[in-house]
Amino acid sequence: MSYELLVEVTRDHTVESRHFGAAVVCDYRGTVVESWGDINTLVFPRSALKPMLAIHLVESGACEEYSLSDAELSLACSSHQGEEMHQTLVQSWLSRLGLTEDHLACGPVLPEHTESAHQLLASGQQGCRIHHNCSGKHSGFLTTALHLDLPLENYHLVDHPLQQLSLEILSDLAQFDLKEYPMGIDGCGLPAPTMPLLQLARATARFARPEDLSDDRAKAIQRLHEAITNEPLYIAGTGSVVSELNEVTKGSVLAKTGAEGVVIAALPDQGLGIAVKIADGSSRARSVALLAILDHLGALSIEEKDLLQSHIAPAIVNSRGVTVGKIRPAASWLSDPSVNKLAD
C-alpha cells in the first residue's frame, strides 16, 4: 500500500504538517483517467455513498407516492449539520409518514452546527435523533420501506431486504459484488461496505453519467442530480464545502464527503468520477485535495475558484484572528501550474 503526498499545512510559509493519500479519476466507462497513490487500497466510503444510497427512494416509486420535494431528496443524500432548516424538514417529513423520531435507527446527538448546538443547550434541551447528520438518509430508508410494505423494525441491519436492495444498487454502480468484501457498521447503525478506491471512483462516474444503467435507475439518478443542484444547502449546510461547491458550480460538480478523509465528486457534463482517501483520516485535507484535482482537470472556472477560495486554500487562524498559515495542495503534487499557483 502506497500513498502520495497530497496536502501540506504551512505556518509562516514553512511546512508544518503533511497529509498523504490516494486519489483516482475515472470516466463512466470505467477507464482510469488519472491516479495518485494506491487506488486499489480498500476503503470505507462511509457517507460519501449517501447520494447512491438514495437511488432506491426514487427508483422504487416511494418519492412519487409521498410527493418528496427537492429539499427532502437532497436531505436524503446528506450529512446535514443539524441547522434549524434541517431539523424542521426531518420532523415534517417523518410526520407526513405518520412516524416519529423514535423510528430512526440513528442515535441521539447534538447538532454539528455550533450555533444550533449552543442554542439547544441554552434552552435546556438535549440532542435527539433528528439532529443526527444521517437522519435524512434514515428518513429516506423508512419512506421506501413503507412504500414497499417492508418491516420498519431493524431496517438498518444488513440482512433487511432494504439494505440488500441498497447493496445490489451499489454493486451495480461499482460493477462488482460488495458482499464479497468486508462489511462494517457505520456511525448511524447502517451497514458500512468497503470497496477499493478505484471502484468508488467508477461508481461515482456511473452516478455522474448513468448511460449504461437501466432506464429506471438512470432516471432516478438524474432526479437526484436535480434535487441536489436545486437545494444544495440540504445536502450539508451553511458554509460547508459540499454545499458551496454544489451551489457555485450549479450541478456541474456534485460532491459528497465521507468520514475518515473520504470525498467523492461526480461530474455529469464530463462523465467523470473522482474519489479521494486521505490516509490519516483528516477532514481538513480531503476537500483541499478534491478542489486541486478539479482545478487540474479544468472543471472550475476562474469565477468559481474565486468563490471557493476559502476552501481551496483554507487559512490557519490563531486565537487573535491573525492568519498564520494555510492548508494547500502539496507543492510537489500535480504538474498543472494553476494548481501550484493556488498553493503560493
Per residue in 132-141, pLDDT tens?
A: 999 999 999 9
Q: Nearest-5° angle of CA 173, CA 170, CA 269?
A: 40
| CATH class for the domain made up of 23-278 | alpha beta
Q: CA–CA separation, 183 vs 203, rounded Å?
A: 18
Do residues 121 and 127 lie in contact, with contact meaning Cβ atoms separated by under 8 Å?
Answer: no
240, three cell numbers: 460547508
139, three cell numbers: 428518513
DSSP state of 128: B
Q: How far apart are the first and last CA of the chain?
A: 30
Q: Which residues contact 67 (CB under 8 A, 6 or more apart)?
A: none
Question: How many percent of the chain have pLDDT more than 90?
Answer: 90
Region 250-258: what's the mean pLDDT?
A: 97
3-state DSSP assignment of residue 89: helix
- How many CB atoms are located within 10 Å of the residue 247 CB? 17
42-55 per-position pLDDT tens digit:
999 999 999 999 99
- Which residues, in sequence order, are bridge partners of residue 18? 8
DSSP state of 314: P
CA dist list (Å): 44 to 2, 62, 165, 262, 326: 17, 28, 19, 8, 28
Region 68-74: what's the mean pLDDT?
A: 98
Q: Grade residue 114 by pLDDT with cuts at 50, 70 and 90.
A: confident
Q: Grade residue 342 by pLDDT with cuts at 50, 70 and 90.
A: very low
Which phi and psi angles does 106 have, rounded to 5°? Answer: -70, 155
- Which residues, in sequence order, are bridge partners of residue 193? 183
Q: Grade residue 275 by pLDDT with cuts at 50, 70 and 90.
A: very high
Instruction: Using DSSP bridges, classify how beta strands 14-27 and 183-185 pair: parallel, antiparallel or unpaired.
Output: unpaired
- Which residues, in sequence order, are bridge partners of residue 273? 26, 266
Ramachandran area for residue 53 (φ above 0: left; ψ -120 to 50: alpha; else beta)? alpha
Q: Grade residue 337 by pLDDT with cuts at 50, 70 and 90.
A: very low
Which phi and psi angles does 317 have, rounded to 5°? Answer: -115, 135
- Buried-exposed string 56-65: b where 16+ CB fall within 10 A, e elsewhere: bbbbbebbee
Dmax over Cα atoms in the chain, in whole Å? 60
Instruction: Using DSSP bridges, classify how beta strands 42-43 and 195-196 pair: parallel, antiparallel or unpaired.
Output: antiparallel
Q: Which residues contact 329 (CB under 8 A, 6 or more apart)?
A: 6, 7, 8, 288, 289, 292, 339, 340, 342, 343
Considering the entire predicted model, what is its pTM? Answer: 0.94
